[in-house]
Chains A and B, each alone.
Chain A
Amino acid sequence: MKALAKDPLFVVALAVLTLHVVLALLATHVAPYPFDQMHYDAAMKPPSTTYWFGTDRYGRDVFSRVLYGGQITLAFGFGAVAVCFLVGLPAGLIAAYFGGIVDQVIMRIMDVLMSFPTLLLGLLILIIAGPNLVNLILAVGLVYCPRTTRVVRSAALAVRQSTFIEAAQVRGERAPYIIVRELLPCAWGPIIVEFCIRLGYAILLGASFNYLGLGVQPPAADWGALVQEARSYMVRAPWTVIFPIIFISTLVASLHLLGDALDEWLKEGDVA
C-alpha cells in the first residue's frame, strides 16, 4: 500500500473519484437550483456568479443539471457493474472450478454474447425493453458481463491448481465452500482491477446510449444527454457542453488510472 500512496497518479485519481462521488451524493444540497427549473429571462447566459456554469436554452442552471447528472451517471455505472458481477462472479468462479463441460457451456454462451458489437447488443436490448434508467442498467450490465466472467475465470484458474485447493478437496469440503472461502479470496486482485476498469467502460457505454436518446428521458439528463440536448446551440453556448464533458472525462479517466495503478501494484507484489 505504501508504494501506491506515493504514486502521484493514483493519489490524484482517487481524489478526483472521491470528489465525483461526494458531489453526486450531495447534489440536492449543493445544487443552487432544481435541475428542471427554467428561468426564461436568463436563457443561454454564459457562466456568472448567479449561474456558475451558465444556463441552457430554457434558462436552466447548467451547474445544477451537471450535479444531478452525476447522480444518474454514477447510478447507472454502479448499477451496470453490479449486474456484471452478479452474473460474472459466480459464472467465472464456477467455470474455473469445475472446468470441463461446465466451463465449455458457460464460456460458449459468453462467446455468443461477445460476438455482437457492444453498442449494437445494447441498442437491441434497449429497443425491446424501452428507454429508461433500469433498462439502461440491465442493457449495459448484460453487454459487459461476458468480459467480467472472463476476467474472474482466468483469475480463478490461476489459483485453481494450487495445493491448498486440493487439500480442501481431500479434507472433504464441498464445492461451494471451496469456491467462496478458498478460490475467491485468492483471486481478489484482478477482480478489483476489473471493477475499476469495468465501471469506467460502463459509464462510457451508458452515457453513449443516453447521448443517442435511448436511456434516461427528459427532463432528467445524465452527462451524455446534456451534451446531446445542447447539440444545436453548443457553438453559441459552449459552456452547455464543456462542463458535462469535463465531468465525464475526469470521472472515467480517474477510474482507468486507478485500475492501471492497482494492476501495476499487484504485479509488482507478485515479483517481490
Chain B
Amino acid sequence: MLKFLAARIVYTLAVLVAVSALVFVVTELLPGNVATMILGTDATAEDIARLTRLMGLDQPPAQRFIHWLGGVIQGDFGESLRMQRPVGPILAGRLANSLVLAGIAFAMVAVGGLALGLVTALNEGTRLDRVLSTLAAIGTSLPEFVTGTVLILIFAGGLFSVLPPSGYDGFRDGTVDALRHLALPACALAVILTAYVGRVTRTSVIDALRSDYVRTARLKGLSERTVVLRHVLPNALVPAVTVLFMNLGWMFGGIVVVEEIFVFPGIGRLMLFGIAERDWPVIQACAVVIAAVYVFGNLLGDLAVLAINPRLREWTA
C-alpha cells in the first residue's frame, strides 16, 4: 500500500516535470523575438542585444529551463511582459477563483451524476429511464460554449434576468452575491460531466443489481431498501467514483471555455489573455499550473478509489 502510494507520487512528480519541460519547449518555439516584442520593432540592435543579455535569453535553453523550473518550484513565475508585474501573485488570485468555480461544479456533478445514475438504474426499462437516459446521452454532446450560451439566453437577459451573466468579483460583496455569480458558470461546467457520470453510474448499478450477491440478499428476504443501500450501492459506487475523480482534472480543462463565456476572472482567461498578448511567462505559468491541477486531480482520484475499494489495496500492496 505504502509502496504503491510512493510509486504513484513519484510518477506524478515525473509527469509534472515532463509537462513543464514540454510547456517550456512549446513557448520557446513561439514566433517572435521576446526582446523585440518588449522594445517594439523600431528599437536599435544594441538595445535588443542588451535586453536579451539582461533577461538571460542568450543562455542555452537547457540552462534557462532549469533556472525557470527552480523559480516555479518557489512560486516565482517570472514577470509578465504586458502587465510588467510578477506573474505569481496575479496567478494565485486567479487560481483561487477558478478552484472555487471548479469545486462548486464538482459538487454538482457528484450529487447530480450519482442521483441520475441511481434513478435511471432502479427504474431500468421504464419510460422515466428511457427519457432520462436519452437526455443524458444528449447532455454528453453539449460543449461548454453551448450550455453556457443557452444558460445566458434563458437566465441572464433572454427569457429571464434572474442571474448575472458576468461580473464575478470574489466574496467581497457577500456569499449570496458570489454564489449568484457562480451559479451559471458552474452549471455550464457541470452539465456534460453530470450526464457522463450518470451514464456510468447507471451501468454499474444495473450490473450490481444482476449480480449473485444481490440475488442472495434478496432470497434471504431482505427488504429492497436494504438490498440497494447495503449491497448494491457500495459495489456500484466504485466505477462511478473512479470516473468522477478521473474527470476532476478534465473539468479544469473545460474551465478555459467557461471562463471566457462568463468573463470569469480565473486562470483560464488569464491564459487566453497571455495567448492573445503573446505574453509567454503568463502562458507558461498558466499551462504548468493547469497541468499540475490536472495531474494532482488524477492522483486524488486514484487515492479515492483506493479508499473505497479494499480489493485494489491488496493487489497493489
- Bound-state CA distance A139–B237 (Å) is 35
Q: Which residues of B contact A253 (CB under 8 A)?
A: 137-138, 141
Chain B 251-270, CB-CB to A under 8 Å as 1, else 0, gives 01110110011000000000
Given known A-B contacts A116-B19, A127-B283, A128-B29, A207 and B250 have beta carbons under 8 A apart: no
Is A256 positioned at the interface, with any CB of B under 8 Å from its CB? Answer: yes
Given known A-B contacts A115-B19, A117-B252, A253-B137, A241 and B153 have beta carbons under 8 A apart: yes
Please state if A256 and B153 are interface contacts (CB–CB under 8 Å).
Answer: no
- Bound-state CA distance A3–B115 (Å) is 31
Residues of chain A having any CB pair with chain B under 8 Å: 9, 112, 115-120, 123-125, 127-128, 130, 200, 204-205, 207-208, 211-212, 214, 224, 227-228, 231, 234-235, 238, 241-242, 245, 248-249, 252-253, 255-257, 260
Chain B nearest CB from A66 CB (Å) reads: 14
Is B66 positioned at the interface, with any CB of A under 8 Å from its CB? Answer: no
Q: Which residues of B contact A118 (CB under 8 A)?
A: 250, 253
Interface 9-residue window, one of B39-47, B103-111, B288-296, B308-316: B288-296
Interface 9-residue window, one of B67-75, B119-127, B144-152: B144-152
Chain A nearest CB from B285 CB (Å) reads: 13
- Bound-state CA distance A197–B52 (Å) is 48
Residues of chain B in range 25-67 having any CB-CB distance to chain A below 8 Å: 26-27, 29-31
Q: Which residues of B contact A224 (CB under 8 A)?
A: 143, 145
Q: Which residues of B contact A200 (CB under 8 A)?
A: 141
Given known A-B contacts A115-B19, A127-B26, A234-B152, A207 and B145 have beta carbons under 8 A apart: yes
Is B140 positioned at the interface, with any CB of A under 8 Å from its CB? Answer: yes
Given known A-B contacts A214-B275, A238-B153, A128 and B146 have beta carbons under 8 A apart: no
Q: Which residues of A contact B254 (CB under 8 A)?
A: 119
Given known A-B contacts A235-B158, A256-B140, A256-B141, A112 and B15 have beta carbons under 8 A apart: yes
- Bound-state CA distance A130–B32 (Å) is 13
Please state if B140 and A249 are interface contacts (CB–CB under 8 Å).
Answer: no
Please state if B18 and A212 are interface contacts (CB–CB under 8 Å).
Answer: no
Chain B nearest CB from A125 CB (Å) reads: 8
Please state if B149 and A241 are interface contacts (CB–CB under 8 Å).
Answer: yes
Given known A-B contacts A9-B134, A204-B143, A212 and B291 have beta carbons under 8 A apart: no
Q: Which residues of A contact B298 (CB under 8 A)?
A: 115
Please state if B290 and A128 are interface contacts (CB–CB under 8 Å).
Answer: no
Given known A-B contacts A214-B275, A249-B146, A117 and B141 have beta carbons under 8 A apart: no
Chain A CB within 10 A, most for which of B22, B27, B149, B158 = B149
Among A117, A125, A130, A248, contact of B294 (Cβ-Cβ < 8 Å): A117
Chain A nearest CB from B82 CB (Å) reads: 16
Please state if A116 and B134 are interface contacts (CB–CB under 8 Å).
Answer: no
Q: Which residues of A contact B295 (CB under 8 A)?
A: 115
Please state if B257 and A211 are interface contacts (CB–CB under 8 Å).
Answer: yes
